[in-house]
Amino acid sequence: MSKFYELMPGARRQQLGDMELLERLAGPITSETSCLDRMSENVIGAWRLPLGVVPSLVVDGRSHRIAMATEEPSVVAAACRVSRLANACGGITSHADRPVTAAQIMGCASPECARDAVRWIGQNVQMLLETANRCDPALCASGGGAFALEAQILEPAPDWPETFVVAKLFVHTSDAMGANAVNTMAEALQGELSRSLSGYVPGMAILTNDGAGRMVHAHLSIPYAQFGAFAHCEGRDIAVRIARACAFAQRSPERAVTHNKGILNGIIAAALPLGQDTRALSASILHEAHRTGAHKPLTCAELREDSLEFAIHLPLPAGFVGGFKKNPSVAAAFAFDGITSYDELCALLSAIGLIQNLGALWALVTEGIQAGHMRLHVRK
């Protein structure tokens, strides 16, 4: 198997043998396979999931179709059901903060050298930001780039006796998810610190998946009358039950973790066909849920006089530009969903998280999750 990675996908299959099994596992070799080969390592084909569709969800005044890749049939069914309600209520509104990703450039030093390092970094912020920005002219041309740098000392602890110096670089990533862009900048700064600081031992340089700088907000206002007409029952009663379910998740981390898993059901299913880094999305979203030290729900419900206000606030490290777009089926998913900008991408992902959660709570507080869920699962 030496030099396996240098082979073409078809030749890799020959080496692995059992062509019939490989055809079933990875599908036929097509013109797309060589493109996929450039995107990952040791590629032998593509692996498939069912692709369902939400035919229409109105977000910020525009109707979008949403392609969803998931093995869980009730996810698409619930999204379709609540999308009809959301559209009847005028749709979802959203807002994405200016996307900022941070990187940590870490090294070790004696306590005295560490203090000198923090002082030197503070005195050379402008030069270091220029070094970072020279790494990515295209990002800077799009209006993004590194704009802030701060340094701190992490004191020795019982589990590790060394003093850490951590420089934190903040980068506006414009239309990109920015992981590779920011990592490149962070490594360039690590090189600069290694050359300039005496007694500094470089440790690592990489972005943090803390998505505090990439928050997205989506909101749906549901008049009780609309809810009632839609569900053939007393609308305010369902709204109260849903708000109660959110309050329960606020108080119970064991409930909150499942509440948030329901949000991920929608976001991951929609993000997969769009070529997004679903691990980064999960890591950021779950970290945000745990920011206070206890697991909290990422949606909230408010009962007004005539309506239920339902909202979601979560980080979305998503990308509208990047290497993933070279995958033809990813480019097709962007076209199918009608996503033409970074803001629309964030709007759609947050909106699908919001309606997915609303659908799950709606089922839970009325007929229960099993009635619809199991009907679909038994069919599967």
Minimal distance in Å, beta carbon 183 to ligand NAD? 6
Q: Which CA distances in Å does 30 have to 5, 253, 273, 329, 373?
A: 19, 47, 19, 13, 36
**Per annotation, catalytic residue among 261, 287, 290, 313:** 261
146 vs 179, beta carbon nearer ligand NAD: 179
- State yes or no: is 277 an active-site residue: yes
Question: What are the φ/ψ torsions at residue 12 (nearest 5 degrees)?
Answer: -60, -40
179 vs 188, beta carbon nearer ligand NAD: 179
66 vs 179, beta carbon nearer ligand NAD: 179
How far is the C-alpha of 2 from the C-alpha of 152, rounded, in Å?
45
**Of all helices (H) and strands (E), which one includes residue 349?**
helix 342-364
Minimal distance in Å, beta carbon 269 to ligand NAD? 17
**Per annotation, catalytic residue among 192, 277, 288, 344:** 277
Helices (H), 175-275: 179-196, 224-231, 235-251, 253-271
Q: Of 261, 245, 256, 268, give the one whose Cα is nearest residue 293.
A: 256
209 vs 350, beta carbon nearer ligand NAD: 209
Angle between helices 73-88 and 342-364 (to 10 degrees): 100
Task: Output the six-digit token pair for 182.
Answer: 């920011």
280 vs 311, beta carbon nearer ligand NAD: 280
- State yes or no: is 373 an active-site residue: yes
177 vs 355, beta carbon nearer ligand NAD: 177
Which 8-state DSSP code applies to residue 325?
A: G
**Per annotation, catalytic residue among 37, 60, 72, 237:** 72
Q: Name the maximum alpha-carbon separation found in the chain.
A: 73
Those residues whose C-beta lies under 8 Å from the C-beta of residue 128, and which sit 6 or more positions away, are: 121, 149, 167, 169, 189, 192
Cβ pair 301, 308 in contact under 8 A: yes
Cβ pair 174, 319 in contact under 8 A: no
Minimal distance in Å, beta carbon 278 to ligand NAD? 9
* Interface residue list for ligand NAD (CB under 6 A): 136, 138-139, 142, 144, 174-181, 183, 207, 209, 277, 280, 319, 321-324
**Per annotation, catalytic residue among 64, 295, 296, 373:** 373
Helices (H), 111-161: 111-123, 125-134, 137-141
How far is the C-alpha of 122 from the C-alpha of 23, rounded, in Å?
57
Q: Which residues are catalytic?
A: 72, 261, 277, 373
